[in-house]
């Protein structure tokens, strides 16, 4: 395992991190022995960064991680989040404190290493309804009794060491403004072969639903670390999915008949050449691509089982993709994956 500095936090994090989200399924559907077997092996392989959130199974993933780490007598770097929903908008700061206390209890910890706001920033109306937490208006981030104030309270009280937030695309200016406050030391952002805009300007010819505005470099310039989530684009960038259109049985259900699914599968298949027999799989190539960016601190793997963990970790040791492969990737982007 190789390690990188997470911005100017002083945290030395493994290049491959352990994502505890529901998409992979292990932390929600796996038995305690199954979970602990995978977590123990992750720790043995050098993974020291575990990313969680209350929304993952309504607290179940946090609770399971807390039990598993206690059973394994382990204390890696633990990250969790706060989801702000419509019912919380009257006192976002207070909600941040209450959510943090609840997460610490589930995790069995006195302090979390990084606490992030799970809502992406927006200048538009937040549009929060029901259980949605996709975005949060800048006023609710920065205004009185907002998320920033709540994080300051949590940091002051020693309940978290560092603060961060999630980027959800088309929010580059807002991300820069939040980073400019000096409070945030870690951002989470998707950066993939299917949408590389978090790490660079949008390639000519490529069409994307969300432009992430090269925020990785912006974070690097502000001394903030970057955790990349969904590096396999929701599991599409795998040999199994490209060959059979299938995901792991425990992964979050998707509709193969939907237009989005068919489009994502076509995009992944346009990159199938990256699977090089005897060298690396498509998934390993996707991880190596992400780690080529010097602003990336950690790539969050969503492991459904031990085999996926064992497959993912070697990618962090293999270095950048070669120039010829990257030239072919550039051509795929310019052709917009051969799609209209």
Q: Is residue 86 part of a domain?
A: yes
The arithmetic mean of pLDDT across residues 138-166, rounded, is 98
Q: Is residue 102 part of a domain?
A: yes
Strands 135-137, 120-122: pairing is parallel
Confidence of residue 247 (pLDDT cuts 50, 70, 90): confident
- What's the rounded Cα separation, in Å, for the pair 301 and 64? 18
Give Cβ neighbours of residue 162 (< 8 Å, ≥ 6 apart): 9, 11, 113, 114, 115, 155, 185, 186
Instruction: Among 22-26, 94-98, 275-279, name the most confident range.
Output: 94-98
Residue 124: its pLDDT value, please? 84
| Residue 213 pLDDT exceeds 90 | yes
The arithmetic mean of pLDDT across residues 202-218, rounded, is 97
Domain count along the chain: 1
Residue 19: its pLDDT value, please? 97
- Which strand (E) or helix (H) includes residue 104? helix 92-107
We report the CATH number of the domain holding residue 82 as 3.20.20.100
Q: Is residue 274 part of a domain?
A: no
Q: Is residue 259 part of a domain?
A: no
The arithmetic mean of pLDDT across residues 184-201, rounded, is 98
Q: Look up the pTM and report it.
A: 0.96
Structural domain of 159 = 3-233+295-319
334 φ/ψ angles, rounded to the nearest 5 degrees: -60, -30
For residue 124, CA distances in Å to 136, 167, 174, 221, 330 come to 9, 15, 11, 26, 33
| Residue 310 pLDDT exceeds 90 | yes
Q: Is residue 333 part of a domain?
A: no
Query: What's the token pair of residue 215?
Result: 């925020």
Instruction: With CA atoms as reference, report the closest residue to 137 among 101, 177, 164, 100.
Output: 177
Query: What's the token pair of residue 250?
Result: 């425990």
Q: Is residue 176 part of a domain?
A: yes
Q: What is the pLDDT of residues 259-301, one digit of tens each?
A: 999 999 999 999 999 999 889 999 999 999 999 999 999 999 9
Q: Is residue 265 part of a domain?
A: no
- What's the rounded Cα separation, in Å, for the pair 185 and 187? 7
Residue 22: its pLDDT value, please? 82
| Residue 308 pLDDT exceeds 90 | yes
Q: Is residue 325 part of a domain?
A: no
CB 125 within 8 A of CB 137: yes
């Amino acid at each position: 395992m190789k390690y990188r500095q997470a911005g100017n936090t002083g945290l030395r994090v493994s290049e491959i991190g352990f994502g505890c989200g529901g998409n992979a399924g292990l932390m929600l559907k796996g038995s305690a022995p199954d979970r602990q077997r995978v977590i123990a092996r992750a720790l043995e392989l050098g993974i020291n960064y575990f990313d969680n959130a209350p929304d993952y199974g309504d607290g179940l993933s946090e609770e399971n991680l807390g039990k598993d780490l206690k059973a394994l007598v382990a204390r890696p770097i633990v990250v969790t989040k706060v989801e702000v929903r419509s019912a919380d908008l009257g006192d976002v700061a207070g909600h941040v404190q209450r959510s943090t206390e609840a997460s610490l209890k589930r995790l069995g910890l006195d302090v979390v290493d990084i606490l992030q706001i799970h809502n992406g920033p927006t200048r538009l109306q937040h549009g929060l309804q029901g259980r949605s937490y996709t975005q949060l208006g800048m006023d609710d981030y920065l205004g009185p009794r907002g998320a920033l104030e709540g994080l300051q309270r949590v940091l002051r009280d020693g309940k978290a060491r560092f603060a961060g937030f999630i980027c959800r695309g088309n929010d580059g200016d807002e991300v820069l403004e939040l980073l400019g406050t000096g409070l945030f030391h870690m951002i989470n952002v998707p950066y993939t072969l299917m949408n590389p805009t978090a790490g660079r300007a949008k390639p000519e010819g490529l069409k994307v639903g969300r432009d992430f505005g090269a925020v990785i470099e912006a974070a690097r310039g502000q001394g903030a670390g970057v955790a990349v989530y969904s590096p396999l684009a929701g599991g599409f960038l795998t040999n199994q999915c490209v060959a059979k259109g299938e995901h792991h049985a425990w992964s979050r259900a998707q509709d193969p008949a939907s237009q989005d699914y068919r489009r994502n599968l076509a995009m992944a298949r346009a990159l199938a050449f990256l699977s090089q027999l005897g060298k690396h799989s498509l998934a390993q190539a996707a991880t190596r691509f992400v780690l080529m960016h010097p602003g990336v601190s950690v790539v969050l793997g969503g492991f459904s089982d031990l085999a996926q963990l064992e497959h993912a970790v070697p990618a962090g040791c293999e270095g950048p993709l070669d120039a010829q492969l990257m030239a072919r990737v550039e051509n795929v982007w310019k052709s917009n994956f051969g799609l209209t």
